[in-house]
């Protein structure tokens, strides 16, 4: 059985575990190493059973524990070439980190097949990932993107489970405390996905066979879990898709401690 465990989600840090109880991978590691090790333990998972770390992009809320985790526990790391260069420039990796570029061909890790797709974000070369388990089930991780491109949508379609960004409510962001330049960055095509765009994507995904949706990377200042969930749920219901029948919808909290989701 495959497990999905969202360890952390949001602008303060992001990390997800997927795999079996005995072996798996991390998608991002944007907290400190101790926090991630403890979060795994809280969910009955051992860092020693993590065989690879996949980094979506170089921003600190996705990569801060990388150097310590990868070197201390000798974990293989994969990222795009652009992300690797950015991580080196920021001092987030060194010669002790075993890191390799991942191409569109994908790689095998922990008995699963991981394939990247490009995201639209203000980073050097950001990737999302699809993870296919041995039984053919696919899980996708698509956060930190200002828009849903054709490539992203094509990668997500048909996935059983999708972790999808629902970062901000546009109205809250516009009247909120952020400086104008930051607001424009978030709203741009290389920013973050709004609740509204997330909802539109959710409809397309459920129509294509996705049965589990996890809304992730919510802004603490410009969103509420209830707002994010209501935006997607309302549009799904308008399209005659019923919760707990056609799909299951959840919001990923900043820290997930109630156990792995097994499917």
What is the three-class DSSP state of 83?
helix
pLDDT at residue 262, as a whole number: 62
Rounded CA gap, 220 and 117, in Å? 27
Range 1-10 average pLDDT: 91
Q: How many residues does the chain have?
A: 263
What proportion of the chain, given as a percentage, has pLDDT over 70? 98
> 4 pLDDT band (50/70/90 cuts)?
very high
Q: How many CA atoms lie within 13 A of 53 on its CB side?
A: 31
Domains of the chain: 3-262 (3.60.15.10)
Tell me which residue has tokens 């996890």.
Answer: 214
pLDDT of 2: 84
% of the chain with per-residue pLDDT over 90: 95
Cβ pair 75, 97 in contact under 8 A: no
Residue 260 has pLDDT above 90, yes or no: no
Tokens of 101: 């570029």
């Amino acid at each position: 059985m495959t497990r999905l465990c969202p360890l952390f989600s949001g602008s303060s840090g992001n990390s997800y575990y997927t795999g079996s109880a005995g072996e798996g991978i991390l998608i991002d590691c944007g907290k400190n190493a101790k926090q991630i090790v403890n979060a795994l333990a809280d969910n009955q998972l051992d860092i020693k059973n993590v065989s690879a770390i996949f980094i979506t992009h170089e921003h600190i809320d996705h990569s801060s524990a990388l150097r310590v985790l990868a070197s201390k526990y000798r974990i293989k790391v994969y990222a795009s070439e652009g992300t690797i260069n950015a991580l080196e420039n920021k001092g987030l990796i060194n010669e002790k980190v075993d890191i390799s570029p991942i191409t569109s061909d994908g790689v095998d890790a922990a008995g699963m097949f991981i394939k990247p797709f490009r995201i639209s974000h203000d980073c050097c070369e950001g990737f999302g990932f699809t993870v296919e388990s041995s039984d053919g089930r696919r899980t996708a991780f698509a956060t930190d993107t200002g828009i849903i491109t054709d490539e992203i949508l094509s990668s997500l379609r048909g996935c059983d489970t999708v972790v999808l960004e629902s970062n901000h409510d546009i109205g809250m962001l516009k009247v909120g405390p952020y400086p104008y330049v930051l607001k424009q960055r978030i709203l741009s095509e290389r920013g973050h996905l709004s609740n509204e765009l997330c909802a539109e994507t959710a409809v397309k995904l459920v129509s294509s066979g996705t049965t589990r949706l996890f809304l992730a990377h919510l802004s603490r200042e410009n969103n509420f879990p209830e707002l994010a969930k209501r935006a997607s749920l309302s549009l799904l219901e308008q399209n005659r898709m019923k919760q707990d029948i056609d799909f299951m919808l959840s919001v990923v909290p900043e820290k997930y401690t109630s156990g792995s989701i097994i499917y």
